[in-house]
Amino acid sequence: MTDISRRSLAAGAGLLLGAIALPARSQQLAISASIPRLTPKPLTFNPDRVKGISAEALHRHYDEVYAPAVKKMNALQEELAKLEIGEAPPETVAKLKSEELAAYNATILHELYFDGIGEMAVQPSGLLAQAISRDFTSLDRWKAEFAATARSLAGNGGWVILAHSPRDKRLYNHRAASTSESPAGSVPLLAMDMHRYAYDGDAAAHVGAFMLAIKWTNAERLYREAMRV
């Protein structure tokens, strides 16, 4: 084989390798570009008008916990999109996917928490009120269970979640000790954050204040949507 033939063969091989690598890189860029970026949802209430939960605690909670969770979720999505997933070490995949689950749940639960807070005490109505009476015998019994579950998390933190189970066609109050725990197959309607950063003062006072500030219209909307699942 002549030197010209060898050079031509080498050049052809280089072009072939480049053509193989290019689609993979283009695919990574396409995946990255297709990932929707999350943005923090604005508060739907005036923190100064919520009785029993200080405006300072609500602003701190939003700015220092919720907004960073949204930012972290976006960063993890970008990192996963750039990863050569088939060649990545299992421990790398495990770390990223575990962090993704925690960040994802944190964004969802914090949005439920903030969307479930109002400026005045109201009562549930319509289909949700009927479902609460059906599944907990009464609104008072539901309140007692939800509040007791919240108090059981005092000191260690976690979440209390009112959720609808499409499988069982009923409501549950779930206890989640961390953001990585969530009720499988259920649609969350209302969430209460019991981590220490969520409130000033004692946990019992926070529970009482939240119970009086629940904005039921958001949970009712989510329940109507969940009924169609």
- pLDDT tens digits, one per residue of 73-128: 999 999 999 999 888 999 999 999 999 999 999 999 999 999 999 998 889 999 99
* Whole-number Å distance between alpha carbons of 144 and 115: 21
For CA atoms 60, 63, 66, 68, the dihedral sign is negative
Rg of the chain over Cα atoms, rounded to whole angstroms, equals 24
**Beta bridge partner(s), residue 170:** 165
Which domains, ranges and CATH numbers included, belong to the chain? 54-229 (3.55.40.20)
For the entire predicted model, the pTM comes to: 0.83
Sheet holding 187-193, edge to edge: 170-176, 159-165, 187-193
User: What pLDDT does 157 receive?
Assistant: 93
User: What pLDDT does 182 receive?
Assistant: 79
Residue-wise pLDDT for 36-54, tens only, equals: 889 999 999 999 999 999 9
Where residue 31 falls (left for φ over 0; alpha for ψ -120 to 50; beta otherwise) is alpha
User: What pLDDT does 26 receive?
Assistant: 52
* Whole-number Å distance between alpha carbons of 124 and 93: 43
For CA atoms 63, 61, 183, 136, the dihedral sign is negative
User: What pLDDT does 1 receive?
Assistant: 52
What value does the mean pLDDT take over residues 156-180? 94
User: What pLDDT does 25 receive?
Assistant: 52
**Tokens in use for 76?**
């993890």
For 190, phi then psi, to 5°, come to -155, 140
Residue-wise pLDDT for 10-38, tens only, equals: 444 444 344 444 454 555 555 555 678 89
Helices in 52-121 by DSSP H: which ranges? 55-61, 67-82, 90-115
